[in-house]
Amino acid sequence: RDWRLPNRRELRSIISHGQSKPALPAGHPFTDVFLGWYWTSTTSALAPAYAWYVHLEGARMFYGGKEQRYLAWPVRGSSRHIPRTGQTECFNIRGEVIECAGTGQDPDISAGQPWPVPRFSRQGREITDHLTGLIWLDPGESAGRAVTWQQALDTVQQLKVDSEWRLPNINELESLVDASSHSPALPEGHPFTGLMDGYWSSTTSFFEPDWAYVLYLKKGAVGVGYKPGLEFYTWPVRSLNSR
């Protein structure tokens, strides 16, 4: 009796980026998985008449009009490992704010682990995310030009002279997103500067290996970019205690 629609982070948590058709871990026990879009309970902050959905063919995440017809994958329970999305308001199909109680929308449930306060702290050009323990190089301190995927990897390799910087995987990039915000889709009061719209991840698309996953920071979407294209930017990260 406690089944509900998963929020965007809960649905993405079952995704494997090493598989496609469906993008689920090898040997998974699920049956009749449709290779299409599955709804989440999380509204798009940029376009509140739309809600986030995940594509099970190749693991992209975007948003669609709430009046459109896609699939539902019910979930129940709670996780000690998945953070909350950050969304705090509920919206109807016209994008109007409504009371959350009884809607089953993301903020009605508030599933996931709460965020620490403060979420971020800064030391010089390095910003620590106390939710994940990751340390990010402030984008305003790094090369501010669009590069190919290989150039992004090479840029981070050059930074390893003073720290173990690396290109984040797509889940690390998505962990920064606050689903209540857009332009950028980051928590209110974040300390990052020099932000651009799209950032490369180190994660190759298993569905299309000449493409890699990217985070669209204005929307908070998880998409893909053509590796030789000069469209996206570099956002180095390192793990806590890595020097």
Q: What digits encode the pLDDT tens for the residues 7-49?
A: 999 999 999 999 999 999 999 999 999 999 999 999 999 999 9
pLDDT of residue 67: 98
pLDDT digits (tens, 9 = 90+) for 140-154: 987 679 999 999 999
pLDDT of residue 243: 55
The domain ranges of the chain are 1-113, 120-239
Question: CB neighbours of 190 closer than 8 A, spacing ≥ 6?
Answer: 119, 120, 184
Q: Which two tokens stand for residue 188?
A: 């209110």
pLDDT of residue 163: 78
Q: How does residue 220 score in pLDDT terms, banded at 50, 70 and 90? A: very high
Q: Under CATH, which number does the domain 120-239 receive?
A: 3.10.100
CB 198 within 8 A of CB 215: yes
Q: How does residue 242 score in pLDDT terms, banded at 50, 70 and 90? A: low
End-to-end CA distance of the chain: 49
Q: 43 - beta bridge partners?
A: 51
pLDDT digits (tens, 9 = 90+) for 186-215: 999 999 999 999 999 999 999 999 999 999
Q: What is the pTM of this model?
A: 0.95
pLDDT of residue 143: 61
